[in-house]
Structure 1
């Protein structure tokens, strides 16, 4: 049995035995330009650790990267993600300095909450 996970140009390939895995890799290399990077460590923001005959997946480094991009690494946790008593208005305040950064962060947070639904409210 073999499994192939493909996302755009990233592939994870695993098989029930090493002979089959080698054959699949060789077949794919003959047809496509590809590089075998060896044992899986990271994939699409997931950190992969091999433990006790299985895999442990974590997005802690992905979440830390989002905080760093937003310049929020020194911020302290709070009990609610919403500022209490704030009033939002379309006509007051200053516009966002970099809309591209905002959209990039929004997309990254959306991806994070798809895989971690328990943090959706806080995000």
Structure 2
């Protein structure tokens, strides 16, 4: 698809299932399509050859994002210019339980898959995910803010194209003691190959650090 230093880009999509209890019945698994199908393999090879001629590609989950908005019944909501409220910290001590925790968990889980092409929502989604067990009204408001932001940015995605720059560049930051309940910091990073974003993450640090400098230092080590 897009070549950087004669390196091709291959997109892999995997269907998976998570089992949360003991199985009492036999489970039969069939071999994935293409393992022994020469027609399918020829189609994949021809598709790759045609895509390698492109100078750029755009990775988007617009249809999936629109389905999330519809599931949340927020198709006609007012959009937001930011997915994150920087003036307040999410905590579980000063709010009440939400009325529909099942819907909350479903939407947050769906947003995690959306971060595959939307790194701009990785940080707020990670913060909300910490309250999956007992979501409060504050987390509901934070979730709705992310959904309002997505409603206004459905066309967003990742542009990948051939870049004249061939170096790896990394950026990292830490929200020191961002969680008011545990005092843990949230660590995030992104890695660029040339002008193309190729890796990113946002997650809680396992250790509580006494200073921002210490949290930033350990963030660099990760």
Question: TM (normalized to structure 1)?
Answer: 0.48
- The structure whose RCO (Cα within 8 Å, separation 6+) is larger is 2
Question: TM (normalized to structure 2)?
Answer: 0.30
